[in-house]
Amino acid sequence: MGLFDKFKEVTRKVSEVEHNIYHEKRDYLEIYERNLELEKEIAERTEELNDANKRMFTLQHIWDMMNSSTPLENVLEAIVNSTQGELGYMHCVIIKKCTDEDGEFMRILAQSNDALIDRLNSLIGPPGIQTRRLNYASESVFADTMRQRTIIQTKSIDLSLEAVLPDLSKEIVSKILSNQPIRSVIVVPLVAQKKEFGWFCVFSAREELASAEMDFLGLFAKQIEMAITIADLFQAVREQAVTDALTGLYNRRYFEEALEKEVQRAKRQKQPFSIIGIDLDYLKKINDTYGHSYGDLAIKTIAEVLKANARSVDVSARIGGEEFNVLLPGINSEGAMIAAERIRKSIENAEIDTVGHITGSLGVATYFEHSENVEELLELTDQAMYTSKREGRNRVTLAKPISETYWQEIAVNTFIDILSKNRIPKAKHLSKELCQKLKATNKDEVSKEALYTVADMLTKIYNPMHTSGIIKKKVQMAVSLAKRFDLPKEDIDNLRVAVLLYDIGNLMLPSDLLQKATPLTDEERETIKNHPIIAARDILKPISYIQDVLPIIEHHHENWDGSGYPNKISKEAIPLTSQIILIIDEYFALIEQRPYRAKLSGKDALEIIKTDMGKKWNENLVREFISLIEHDIV
């Protein structure tokens, strides 16, 4: 090979090496560029993943709040602040679409706390935007999103602001938006349970809305709609728990809770409050004459009257049946009587189709003035209401303090309470008749006769041999005996009531046991010994205004020497009024016919009583009792 040929060969090899190097460099550059693109893509995907994680975290936080008892306003506040803070928006707000007599408008429910809103409020002046009535324009981004049910992004921030606050000058709008990084507003319509609720709005520094961001905001809106739906369901359940279904008023449960809170407030602030009790007159007559639908209409009519006459702080409730209560915070008896009379007139003036006019009987009682015991106050309200019924209906009666209430009023209302609430199952068949007898009376003497009649009829249930008129004699004898010991009027009045009620516990015992002609077993005797406890604790204890009567009844079988029952107390530990009942009960038991023996004469009965002086009774009590019988004072 010549020199020239060698040179060509070397040149060829050099070219081949250069060619290989070039291709390897190009491959390397391609790999490098691909790596750069891959790194960029990884960074983008990582950023997207971080954003997705933030969004998922935000959604999880909101979901947790939605599934708790957190109020809706707190959930919405969390949504706007999370969106603004965690997802990088400049400002977030949830707006509700509202309607009133002046038309449609918008109101801010929640907004993020940031410099933008502080700047806006400082420029528009008080009140701040959150408390303002915002204009709803049919030609606006808000109306467009709601009509189209789609998310809209607008760069015309000034026009959006002018639409909701048309009174703002362009100069103020310009100041609000100047030197702000906001480039667009994204408006998302909110529709909960197929009803137009409002909008979720975010203020963004970006002019364009990415499809992923659009999808996320749509998902976020669904969460807001779900939160609204859940809140509505919670509210509906709560209202059902505290609201009367027929009238829409509060129910007894809510009234009692409100009353308990008001008692604490009254004690703390040393201010009275009053209760008005209302009872619809002649509901039974309305039901019997026109049908129960008209009875319900009458009840709803009273409810509407109460709603129309109530202050925002008053609590009107349907307690049950045709009975209502109104709690008047901070109102004394004078103010309550004025309010009650206004309610009475409104009820009387209301006219119902077919039925015509209706009326109500009302009672008023005031905390501090009539009683500082809330249960007693409610009972006094009921007593005053029943007094209105007995005295002719369609009137208002102010309660008397418990010390000034006539004993027969207490007794009448006690019997009505026992009978109307079926506290004694055996008397259920007579309850309606006896209640009518008691409610129909309107004079003191007639009221007493009704009481004696009712007590006699109840006694005949467990003692068919009972003679009518005996209860009246027992009361008269007890009063005469008590006066011999100079007992105060309050004690004597309590004794009158106790004489009417002391054996009522027998109505809860087996009838065959009380009428048994053969000797009782030990077990049967122990059962009968329970009747004072049954009367005092089971039947009468729920009635707060006769609590002073209960010890008299509970101890009326205690003996002077401690051999009695149920507590085996003795001597002065036994109320004198209980001893009076015991000796009178023994005397009449001896002179009345019994299944297991014939009746005794009065003289023989007194001889038996004498033998137990110092054992069953105080000796002074026996002497005064014998003197009373022998002189025929009764």
For the annotated catalytic residues, the residue numbers are 322
Instruction: Find out whether the peptide bond into 425 is cis, omega within 30 degrees of 0.
Output: no
Residues 198, 201, 207, CA angle at the centre, nearest 5°? Answer: 145
Instruction: Find out whether the peptide bond into 272 is cis, omega within 30 degrees of 0.
Output: no
**Residues sharing a CB contact under 8 Å with residue 538, sequence separation 6 or more, in sequence order:** 505, 508
**Residues sharing a CB contact under 8 Å with residue 75, sequence separation 6 or more, in sequence order:** 62, 65, 66, 227, 231
- Which amino acid belongs to residue 214? M
Contact status, residue 518 vs residue 596, Cβ threshold 8 Å: yes
In whole angstroms, what is the distance from residue 340 CA to residue 366 CA?
Answer: 12
Tell which residue, 436, 427, 478, has the closest CA to residue 456. Answer: 427
Residues 33, 36, 42, CA angle at the centre, nearest 5°? Answer: 140
In whole angstroms, what is the distance from residue 128 CA to residue 107 CA?
Answer: 12
**Residues sharing a CB contact under 8 Å with residue 624, sequence separation 6 or more, in sequence order:** 481, 484, 485
CA 120 to chain centre: 42
From residue 503, give the alpha-carbon distance in Å to each of 351, 411, 540, 553, 608.
47, 14, 12, 8, 22
DSSP string, 263-310: HHHHHHHT--EEEEEEEETTHHHHHHHH-HHHHHHHHHHHHHHHHHH-
Contact status, residue 547 vs residue 494, Cβ threshold 8 Å: no
First to last CA, the chain: 167
Tell which residue, 62, 97, 60, has the closest CA to residue 77. Answer: 62
CA 29 to chain centre: 79
Contact status, residue 427 vs residue 391, Cβ threshold 8 Å: no
Secondary structure in 3-state letters for 159-202? HHHHHHCCCCCHHHHHHHHCCCCCCEEEEEEEEECCEEEEEEEE
Task: Give the H/E segment covering residue 325.
Answer: strand 323-329
| Residue 407: both structure tokens together | 């004993």
